Structure 1
Amino acid sequence: DDFKDEHKKATVSLEKPDVKVLAKVKRGTFIVAIDLLGKTVNTKLEMLNRALLTFSGWKPDEGLGEVFHAGVSHLAYEYAKNVARRDKISGILLPNLKVVDKKGLLSFLRGNWEVTRSPQIICFEQRERRELNSDNLIKEGKVTLYSLSKLSKVEIPVFISNLVERKPDREGEETFLRKIVQKLASHKAFRSFTFLVREDVELPEKLRGSEFSTPKFRGIRTKMVKTSL
Protein backbone atom coordinates (compact mmCIF):
# COMPACT_ATOMS: atom_id res chain seq x y z
CA ASP A 1 0.00 0.00 0.00
CA ASP A 2 1.05 3.64 -0.20
CA PHE A 3 0.12 4.87 3.27
CA LYS A 4 3.30 6.40 4.63
CA ASP A 5 4.54 9.47 6.42
CA GLU A 6 6.55 11.31 3.74
CA HIS A 7 7.15 14.50 5.76
CA LYS A 8 5.93 16.58 2.84
CA LYS A 9 4.55 20.08 3.19
CA ALA A 10 1.06 20.77 1.96
CA THR A 11 0.75 23.03 -1.10
CA VAL A 12 -2.16 25.45 -1.41
CA SER A 13 -3.40 27.34 -4.46
CA LEU A 14 -3.61 30.95 -3.30
CA GLU A 15 -5.63 31.90 -6.39
CA LYS A 16 -8.38 29.39 -5.67
CA PRO A 17 -7.89 27.87 -2.21
CA ASP A 18 -10.08 24.97 -1.16
CA VAL A 19 -10.01 25.17 2.62
CA LYS A 20 -12.05 22.97 4.96
CA VAL A 21 -12.38 23.26 8.72
CA LEU A 22 -12.90 19.99 10.62
CA ALA A 23 -13.97 19.95 14.26
CA LYS A 24 -14.37 17.22 16.86
CA VAL A 25 -15.00 17.04 20.60
CA LYS A 26 -13.15 14.24 22.39
CA ARG A 27 -13.18 13.74 26.17
CA GLY A 28 -13.86 17.41 26.86
CA THR A 29 -11.27 18.66 24.35
CA PHE A 30 -12.37 20.64 21.30
CA ILE A 31 -10.10 19.75 18.35
CA VAL A 32 -10.04 21.89 15.21
CA ALA A 33 -8.14 20.93 12.04
CA ILE A 34 -7.76 22.97 8.87
CA ASP A 35 -7.58 20.96 5.64
CA LEU A 36 -5.57 22.95 3.11
CA LEU A 37 -5.19 20.14 0.58
CA GLY A 38 -8.72 20.28 -0.71
CA LYS A 39 -8.95 16.56 -1.53
CA THR A 40 -12.62 15.61 -1.88
CA VAL A 41 -13.38 12.51 0.18
CA ASN A 42 -17.14 12.56 -0.47
CA THR A 43 -18.44 14.19 -3.65
CA LYS A 44 -22.01 15.50 -3.80
CA LEU A 45 -22.86 12.64 -6.19
CA GLU A 46 -21.57 10.06 -3.69
CA MET A 47 -23.50 11.66 -0.84
CA LEU A 48 -26.76 11.65 -2.83
CA ASN A 49 -26.19 8.05 -3.93
CA ARG A 50 -25.51 7.07 -0.33
CA ALA A 51 -28.73 8.83 0.72
CA LEU A 52 -30.65 6.89 -1.96
CA LEU A 53 -29.19 3.62 -0.66
CA THR A 54 -30.12 4.47 2.94
CA PHE A 55 -33.63 5.74 2.07
CA SER A 56 -34.34 2.55 0.09
CA GLY A 57 -33.97 0.42 3.22
CA TRP A 58 -31.84 -2.09 1.29
CA LYS A 59 -30.04 -4.77 3.30
CA PRO A 60 -26.77 -6.38 2.08
CA ASP A 61 -28.22 -9.90 2.17
CA GLU A 62 -30.87 -9.12 -0.49
CA GLY A 63 -30.64 -8.31 -4.19
CA LEU A 64 -30.26 -4.75 -5.47
CA GLY A 65 -30.75 -3.33 -8.95
CA GLU A 66 -29.42 0.06 -10.04
CA VAL A 67 -31.28 1.40 -13.07
CA PHE A 68 -28.79 3.45 -15.12
CA HIS A 69 -25.21 3.48 -13.89
CA ALA A 70 -24.58 6.46 -11.59
CA GLY A 71 -22.43 4.86 -8.87
CA VAL A 72 -25.11 3.46 -6.52
CA SER A 73 -24.20 -0.15 -7.33
CA HIS A 74 -20.55 0.56 -6.47
CA LEU A 75 -21.44 2.10 -3.11
CA ALA A 76 -23.77 -0.83 -2.39
CA TYR A 77 -21.00 -3.35 -3.08
CA GLU A 78 -18.51 -1.49 -0.89
CA TYR A 79 -21.09 -1.21 1.90
CA ALA A 80 -22.05 -4.90 1.70
CA LYS A 81 -18.41 -6.04 1.65
CA ASN A 82 -17.20 -3.39 4.11
CA VAL A 83 -14.54 -2.28 1.62
CA ALA A 84 -12.05 0.36 2.76
CA ARG A 85 -11.97 3.38 0.43
CA ARG A 86 -8.18 3.50 0.27
CA ASP A 87 -8.21 5.35 -3.05
CA LYS A 88 -9.95 8.24 -1.32
CA ILE A 89 -7.47 8.66 1.50
CA SER A 90 -4.13 7.39 0.24
CA GLY A 91 -3.05 10.82 -0.98
CA ILE A 92 -3.91 12.71 2.20
CA LEU A 93 -0.83 13.93 4.06
CA LEU A 94 -0.71 13.19 7.77
CA PRO A 95 -0.65 16.39 9.84
CA ASN A 96 2.33 16.94 12.12
CA LEU A 97 0.26 17.36 15.28
CA LYS A 98 0.82 15.78 18.68
CA VAL A 99 -2.87 14.86 18.96
CA VAL A 100 -2.51 12.46 16.00
CA ASP A 101 -0.99 9.02 16.57
CA LYS A 102 0.45 8.64 13.06
CA LYS A 103 1.73 5.08 13.55
CA GLY A 104 -1.64 3.99 14.90
CA LEU A 105 -3.45 5.74 12.06
CA LEU A 106 -1.27 4.09 9.40
CA SER A 107 -1.83 0.69 11.00
CA PHE A 108 -5.58 1.33 11.02
CA LEU A 109 -5.62 2.36 7.34
CA ARG A 110 -3.71 -0.75 6.30
CA GLY A 111 -6.23 -3.03 7.98
CA ASN A 112 -8.48 -5.41 6.04
CA TRP A 113 -12.12 -5.27 7.18
CA GLU A 114 -13.85 -7.00 4.26
CA VAL A 115 -16.52 -9.61 5.00
CA THR A 116 -17.14 -12.83 3.06
CA ARG A 117 -20.69 -11.87 2.02
CA SER A 118 -21.36 -12.04 -1.76
CA PRO A 119 -24.11 -9.50 -2.48
CA GLN A 120 -26.28 -9.78 -5.60
CA ILE A 121 -25.92 -6.34 -7.20
CA ILE A 122 -27.06 -5.70 -10.76
CA CYS A 123 -26.74 -2.60 -12.93
CA PHE A 124 -29.39 -2.30 -15.66
CA GLU A 125 -28.17 -0.25 -18.60
CA GLN A 126 -28.85 0.76 -22.16
CA ARG A 127 -27.22 -1.71 -24.51
CA GLU A 128 -25.15 0.97 -26.27
CA ARG A 129 -23.21 1.94 -23.13
CA ARG A 130 -20.50 -0.63 -23.75
CA GLU A 131 -17.81 1.45 -22.07
CA LEU A 132 -19.18 0.17 -18.76
CA ASN A 133 -17.66 -3.24 -19.56
CA SER A 134 -14.26 -1.78 -18.66
CA ASP A 135 -15.48 -0.76 -15.21
CA ASN A 136 -13.43 -2.67 -12.60
CA LEU A 137 -16.31 -3.97 -10.45
CA ILE A 138 -18.27 -5.03 -13.53
CA LYS A 139 -15.22 -6.57 -15.22
CA GLU A 140 -14.45 -8.57 -12.07
CA GLY A 141 -18.05 -9.80 -11.84
CA LYS A 142 -18.72 -8.06 -8.52
CA VAL A 143 -21.47 -5.97 -10.11
CA THR A 144 -23.44 -7.68 -12.89
CA LEU A 145 -24.30 -5.65 -16.00
CA TYR A 146 -27.68 -6.42 -17.61
CA SER A 147 -29.64 -4.85 -20.43
CA LEU A 148 -32.69 -2.80 -19.39
CA SER A 149 -34.86 -5.30 -21.26
CA LYS A 150 -34.12 -7.90 -18.54
CA LEU A 151 -35.26 -5.70 -15.65
CA SER A 152 -38.63 -7.42 -15.14
CA LYS A 153 -37.09 -10.91 -15.41
CA VAL A 154 -34.50 -10.78 -12.62
CA GLU A 155 -35.82 -11.61 -9.15
CA ILE A 156 -34.49 -8.83 -6.95
CA PRO A 157 -36.64 -6.78 -4.55
CA VAL A 158 -35.01 -3.34 -4.40
CA PHE A 159 -34.40 -0.94 -7.29
CA ILE A 160 -32.61 2.41 -7.15
CA SER A 161 -31.99 5.08 -9.78
CA ASN A 162 -30.29 8.49 -9.80
CA LEU A 163 -32.11 9.96 -12.78
CA VAL A 164 -30.77 13.48 -12.27
CA GLU A 165 -27.25 12.19 -12.91
CA ARG A 166 -28.19 10.26 -16.06
CA LYS A 167 -31.26 12.06 -17.46
CA PRO A 168 -31.16 15.64 -16.14
CA ASP A 169 -33.93 16.96 -18.44
CA ARG A 170 -37.52 16.88 -17.21
CA GLU A 171 -38.98 15.25 -20.33
CA GLY A 172 -36.40 12.43 -20.29
CA GLU A 173 -37.12 11.63 -16.63
CA GLU A 174 -40.90 11.64 -17.08
CA THR A 175 -40.67 9.39 -20.16
CA PHE A 176 -38.48 6.88 -18.30
CA LEU A 177 -40.76 6.81 -15.23
CA ARG A 178 -43.82 6.05 -17.37
CA LYS A 179 -41.97 3.10 -18.93
CA ILE A 180 -40.56 1.65 -15.72
CA VAL A 181 -44.02 1.53 -14.11
CA GLN A 182 -44.98 -1.13 -16.65
CA LYS A 183 -41.80 -3.16 -16.06
CA LEU A 184 -42.08 -3.10 -12.25
CA ALA A 185 -45.81 -3.88 -12.28
CA SER A 186 -45.08 -7.30 -13.81
CA HIS A 187 -42.07 -7.99 -11.56
CA LYS A 188 -42.82 -10.81 -9.10
CA ALA A 189 -40.09 -10.09 -6.53
CA PHE A 190 -40.39 -6.27 -6.60
CA ARG A 191 -40.71 -4.53 -3.22
CA SER A 192 -39.56 -0.93 -3.64
CA PHE A 193 -38.17 1.60 -6.12
CA THR A 194 -36.21 4.58 -4.78
CA PHE A 195 -35.14 7.32 -7.17
CA LEU A 196 -33.82 10.87 -7.44
CA VAL A 197 -35.56 13.18 -9.94
CA ARG A 198 -36.00 16.85 -10.70
CA GLU A 199 -38.32 18.60 -8.27
CA ASP A 200 -40.58 19.73 -11.14
CA VAL A 201 -41.10 16.22 -12.57
CA GLU A 202 -44.72 15.05 -12.66
CA LEU A 203 -44.78 11.53 -11.21
CA PRO A 204 -47.04 8.81 -12.59
CA GLU A 205 -49.80 8.07 -10.07
CA LYS A 206 -48.44 4.60 -9.29
CA LEU A 207 -45.00 6.00 -8.42
CA ARG A 208 -46.22 8.50 -5.87
CA GLY A 209 -44.94 7.48 -2.45
CA SER A 210 -42.78 8.87 0.34
CA GLU A 211 -40.78 11.83 -0.94
CA PHE A 212 -38.74 14.76 0.30
CA SER A 213 -36.75 17.62 -1.19
CA THR A 214 -33.00 17.17 -1.48
CA PRO A 215 -30.17 19.65 -2.14
CA LYS A 216 -29.56 21.12 -5.58
CA PHE A 217 -27.50 18.81 -7.76
CA ARG A 218 -25.70 20.24 -10.80
CA GLY A 219 -27.81 23.38 -10.31
CA ILE A 220 -31.09 21.41 -10.43
CA ARG A 221 -33.65 21.29 -7.60
CA THR A 222 -34.27 17.64 -6.79
CA LYS A 223 -36.48 15.30 -4.77
CA MET A 224 -36.03 11.74 -3.57
CA VAL A 225 -38.94 9.32 -3.86
CA LYS A 226 -39.54 5.81 -2.52
CA THR A 227 -42.50 3.81 -3.78
CA SER A 228 -43.81 0.25 -3.71
CA LEU A 229 -46.41 0.79 -6.46
Structure 2
Amino acid sequence: MHPSASPPSTPSASYLFSLRLLSATASPFAAEDYLVTNCGLSRAQALKASKKISHLKSPSKPDAVLAFLAGLGLSRADVATVVANDPLCLCAKVEETLAPRIVDFSDLGLSRPEIVRLVLVARTNLRSSSLRRNVDFWLQIFGSLDELLRVLKVSNSILSMDIEKVVKPNLALLQGCGISVSKIPYAFWSRMVTISSKPCRKLWHVLMSLEL
Protein backbone atom coordinates (compact mmCIF):
# COMPACT_ATOMS: atom_id res chain seq x y z
CA MET A 1 0.00 0.00 0.00
CA HIS A 2 1.14 3.48 -0.75
CA PRO A 3 1.56 5.68 2.28
CA SER A 4 -1.32 8.10 2.63
CA ALA A 5 -0.64 11.61 1.43
CA SER A 6 0.17 14.00 4.18
CA PRO A 7 -2.38 16.78 4.73
CA PRO A 8 -1.48 20.22 3.39
CA SER A 9 0.51 22.21 5.85
CA THR A 10 -1.22 25.04 7.64
CA PRO A 11 0.32 28.49 7.05
CA SER A 12 2.23 29.65 10.05
CA ALA A 13 0.97 32.51 12.14
CA SER A 14 3.99 34.60 11.16
CA TYR A 15 3.29 34.03 7.43
CA LEU A 16 -0.35 35.10 7.78
CA PHE A 17 0.75 38.15 9.71
CA SER A 18 3.16 39.06 6.91
CA LEU A 19 0.37 38.86 4.30
CA ARG A 20 -1.87 41.09 6.38
CA LEU A 21 0.97 43.55 6.84
CA LEU A 22 1.66 43.67 3.09
CA SER A 23 -2.03 44.19 2.36
CA ALA A 24 -2.30 46.96 4.90
CA THR A 25 0.79 48.78 3.66
CA ALA A 26 0.18 48.34 -0.10
CA SER A 27 -0.20 51.66 -1.91
CA PRO A 28 -3.86 52.42 -2.71
CA PHE A 29 -4.93 53.27 -6.25
CA ALA A 30 -4.07 56.94 -6.71
CA ALA A 31 -6.88 58.00 -9.04
CA GLU A 32 -5.82 61.61 -9.55
CA ASP A 33 -2.22 60.73 -10.41
CA TYR A 34 -3.40 57.94 -12.71
CA LEU A 35 -5.66 60.33 -14.62
CA VAL A 36 -2.79 62.75 -15.16
CA THR A 37 -0.05 60.23 -15.95
CA ASN A 38 -1.96 57.56 -17.85
CA CYS A 39 -4.92 59.44 -19.32
CA GLY A 40 -3.37 62.80 -20.14
CA LEU A 41 -5.76 64.94 -18.08
CA SER A 42 -4.64 68.23 -16.61
CA ARG A 43 -4.29 68.34 -12.84
CA ALA A 44 -7.50 70.38 -12.57
CA GLN A 45 -9.41 67.92 -14.76
CA ALA A 46 -8.01 64.98 -12.83
CA LEU A 47 -9.01 66.47 -9.49
CA LYS A 48 -12.60 66.74 -10.69
CA ALA A 49 -12.71 63.37 -12.46
CA SER A 50 -11.03 61.43 -9.66
CA LYS A 51 -14.12 61.81 -7.50
CA LYS A 52 -16.03 59.64 -9.97
CA ILE A 53 -13.55 56.76 -9.79
CA SER A 54 -12.39 57.02 -6.18
CA HIS A 55 -13.96 53.63 -5.43
CA LEU A 56 -11.47 51.79 -7.64
CA LYS A 57 -8.94 49.73 -5.73
CA SER A 58 -6.59 48.94 -8.61
CA PRO A 59 -5.81 50.14 -12.14
CA SER A 60 -6.87 46.85 -13.77
CA LYS A 61 -10.15 48.11 -15.26
CA PRO A 62 -8.80 51.53 -16.32
CA ASP A 63 -5.77 49.85 -17.89
CA ALA A 64 -8.05 47.58 -19.92
CA VAL A 65 -10.18 50.53 -21.06
CA LEU A 66 -7.15 52.59 -22.09
CA ALA A 67 -5.74 49.65 -24.03
CA PHE A 68 -9.10 49.25 -25.76
CA LEU A 69 -9.30 52.92 -26.72
CA ALA A 70 -5.72 52.89 -27.99
CA GLY A 71 -6.55 49.82 -30.04
CA LEU A 72 -9.34 51.77 -31.73
CA GLY A 73 -6.80 54.33 -32.85
CA LEU A 74 -7.46 57.10 -30.34
CA SER A 75 -4.51 59.38 -29.69
CA ARG A 76 -3.47 60.38 -26.18
CA ALA A 77 -5.32 63.67 -26.64
CA ASP A 78 -8.41 61.76 -27.79
CA VAL A 79 -8.24 59.50 -24.74
CA ALA A 80 -7.98 62.55 -22.49
CA THR A 81 -11.13 63.96 -24.11
CA VAL A 82 -13.09 60.74 -23.65
CA VAL A 83 -12.04 60.30 -20.02
CA ALA A 84 -12.58 63.95 -19.09
CA ASN A 85 -16.10 63.80 -20.56
CA ASP A 86 -16.95 60.50 -18.90
CA PRO A 87 -14.57 59.39 -16.12
CA LEU A 88 -16.81 56.41 -15.35
CA CYS A 89 -15.88 54.89 -18.69
CA LEU A 90 -12.71 53.76 -16.90
CA CYS A 91 -14.89 51.52 -14.73
CA ALA A 92 -16.64 49.88 -17.67
CA LYS A 93 -16.11 46.25 -18.61
CA VAL A 94 -14.52 46.24 -22.04
CA GLU A 95 -15.95 42.96 -23.33
CA GLU A 96 -19.44 43.46 -21.90
CA THR A 97 -19.96 47.19 -22.43
CA LEU A 98 -17.49 48.96 -24.71
CA ALA A 99 -16.62 46.37 -27.35
CA PRO A 100 -20.30 45.71 -28.23
CA ARG A 101 -20.78 49.43 -28.97
CA ILE A 102 -17.95 49.34 -31.50
CA VAL A 103 -19.46 46.26 -33.13
CA ASP A 104 -22.78 48.12 -33.29
CA PHE A 105 -21.14 51.06 -35.07
CA SER A 106 -19.45 48.74 -37.54
CA ASP A 107 -22.78 47.04 -38.23
CA LEU A 108 -24.21 50.47 -39.07
CA GLY A 109 -21.58 50.78 -41.79
CA LEU A 110 -19.22 53.19 -40.03
CA SER A 111 -15.50 52.99 -40.77
CA ARG A 112 -12.89 52.91 -38.00
CA PRO A 113 -12.04 56.65 -38.37
CA GLU A 114 -15.77 57.46 -38.27
CA ILE A 115 -16.20 55.32 -35.16
CA VAL A 116 -13.39 57.22 -33.46
CA ARG A 117 -15.09 60.53 -34.27
CA LEU A 118 -18.34 59.26 -32.79
CA VAL A 119 -16.65 57.90 -29.66
CA LEU A 120 -15.18 61.35 -29.02
CA VAL A 121 -18.63 62.95 -28.74
CA ALA A 122 -20.68 60.05 -27.34
CA ARG A 123 -19.75 60.84 -23.72
CA THR A 124 -21.72 58.72 -21.22
CA ASN A 125 -23.82 57.28 -24.05
CA LEU A 126 -20.90 55.06 -25.01
CA ARG A 127 -21.87 52.87 -22.06
CA SER A 128 -25.54 52.66 -23.08
CA SER A 129 -27.01 49.61 -24.79
CA SER A 130 -29.52 51.87 -26.60
CA LEU A 131 -26.80 53.80 -28.40
CA ARG A 132 -26.98 51.75 -31.59
CA ARG A 133 -30.72 52.34 -31.97
CA ASN A 134 -30.37 56.07 -31.39
CA VAL A 135 -27.38 56.53 -33.69
CA ASP A 136 -29.14 54.57 -36.44
CA PHE A 137 -32.24 56.76 -36.08
CA TRP A 138 -30.33 60.05 -36.18
CA LEU A 139 -28.20 58.97 -39.12
CA GLN A 140 -31.42 58.50 -41.06
CA ILE A 141 -32.72 61.89 -39.93
CA PHE A 142 -29.57 63.86 -40.76
CA GLY A 143 -28.48 61.81 -43.74
CA SER A 144 -24.79 61.60 -42.87
CA LEU A 145 -22.42 61.17 -39.96
CA ASP A 146 -20.92 64.61 -40.59
CA GLU A 147 -24.27 66.31 -40.07
CA LEU A 148 -25.01 64.20 -36.99
CA LEU A 149 -21.64 65.07 -35.47
CA ARG A 150 -22.25 68.78 -36.01
CA VAL A 151 -25.44 68.52 -33.95
CA LEU A 152 -23.86 66.30 -31.30
CA LYS A 153 -21.14 68.84 -30.62
CA VAL A 154 -23.90 71.23 -29.55
CA SER A 155 -26.69 68.89 -28.42
CA ASN A 156 -25.14 65.63 -27.26
CA SER A 157 -28.25 64.80 -25.22
CA ILE A 158 -30.17 63.69 -28.31
CA LEU A 159 -28.34 60.35 -28.11
CA SER A 160 -29.98 59.51 -24.79
CA MET A 161 -33.55 60.55 -25.58
CA ASP A 162 -36.51 58.20 -25.88
CA ILE A 163 -37.00 58.00 -29.63
CA GLU A 164 -40.56 56.66 -29.62
CA LYS A 165 -42.08 58.67 -26.76
CA VAL A 166 -40.33 62.02 -27.14
CA VAL A 167 -38.35 62.48 -30.32
CA LYS A 168 -40.74 61.16 -32.97
CA PRO A 169 -43.81 63.07 -31.66
CA ASN A 170 -41.87 66.34 -31.57
CA LEU A 171 -40.40 65.83 -35.02
CA ALA A 172 -43.87 65.05 -36.33
CA LEU A 173 -45.13 68.31 -34.78
CA LEU A 174 -42.38 70.33 -36.44
CA GLN A 175 -42.74 68.68 -39.82
CA GLY A 176 -46.51 69.03 -39.62
CA CYS A 177 -45.99 72.76 -39.21
CA GLY A 178 -43.83 72.87 -42.30
CA ILE A 179 -40.48 73.15 -40.51
CA SER A 180 -37.82 71.12 -42.28
CA VAL A 181 -35.37 69.21 -40.10
CA SER A 182 -32.50 70.56 -42.17
CA LYS A 183 -33.44 74.14 -41.29
CA ILE A 184 -33.52 73.76 -37.50
CA PRO A 185 -30.51 75.60 -36.00
CA TYR A 186 -28.09 73.26 -34.21
CA ALA A 187 -28.50 75.18 -30.96
CA PHE A 188 -32.24 74.36 -30.90
CA TRP A 189 -31.97 70.62 -31.34
CA SER A 190 -31.67 69.55 -27.72
CA ARG A 191 -34.71 71.60 -26.76
CA MET A 192 -36.81 70.68 -29.78
CA VAL A 193 -36.54 66.93 -29.40
CA THR A 194 -36.00 66.39 -25.69
CA ILE A 195 -38.95 68.24 -24.17
CA SER A 196 -42.63 67.39 -23.99
CA SER A 197 -45.05 68.59 -26.64
CA LYS A 198 -46.35 71.69 -24.81
CA PRO A 199 -42.93 73.34 -24.32
CA CYS A 200 -42.06 72.20 -27.81
CA ARG A 201 -45.04 74.14 -29.17
CA LYS A 202 -43.78 77.27 -27.43
CA LEU A 203 -40.36 76.80 -28.95
CA TRP A 204 -42.02 76.21 -32.30
CA HIS A 205 -43.35 79.77 -32.19
CA VAL A 206 -39.78 80.98 -31.68
CA LEU A 207 -38.65 79.03 -34.72
CA MET A 208 -41.52 80.40 -36.76
CA SER A 209 -40.40 83.91 -35.88
CA LEU A 210 -37.03 83.04 -37.40
CA GLU A 211 -38.84 82.37 -40.68
CA LEU A 212 -37.44 78.87 -41.11
> Whose strand fraction is larger, Structure 1's or Structure 2's?
1
Question: Which entry has the higher C-alpha Rg, 1 or 2?
Answer: 2
User: Taking structure 2 as the reference length, what is the TM-score of the superposition?
Assistant: 0.22
Q: Which has the higher contact order (CA 8 A, sep 6+)?
A: 1
> Whose helix fraction is larger, Structure 1's or Structure 2's?
2
